[in-house]
Amino acid sequence: AQSHYGLGSNYDIDTNKNITVVTQFITDDNTDEGDLSEIRRFYIQDGKVLWHANSTVPGVHGNSITDKFCSAQKRVFQDPD
């Protein structure tokens, strides 16, 4: 993830250029009324879709926020779940 986002063309997302940030709030039944089950983020730059980087924290896998992701992160950092 260290080369994912930064200043210059050696990064996947070059902060020298315009970026569109898209955040999706996904529900368990894919309706506006359902319970929130996932938060996804991706970027668009130069017409190319770039997904949010995967976690680099050992024991925490994924690139979106879910109950499983949060529980894993809390376990790793010894926070109450």
Helix and strand numbers, DSSP H then E, in the chain: 1, 5
Helix (H, G, I), strand (E, B) or coil at 37: strand
Q: Which band of pLDDT confidence, cut at 50, 70 and 90, is reported for residue 1?
A: low
pLDDT tens column, 5-47: 899 999 989 999 999 999 999 999 999 999 999 999 999 999 9
Q: Which two tokens stand for residue 3?
A: 């080369």
The Cβ of residue 40 has, within 10 Å, a number of other Cβ atoms equal to 15
The pLDDT, as a whole number, for residue 5 is 85
The pLDDT, as a whole number, for residue 46 is 96
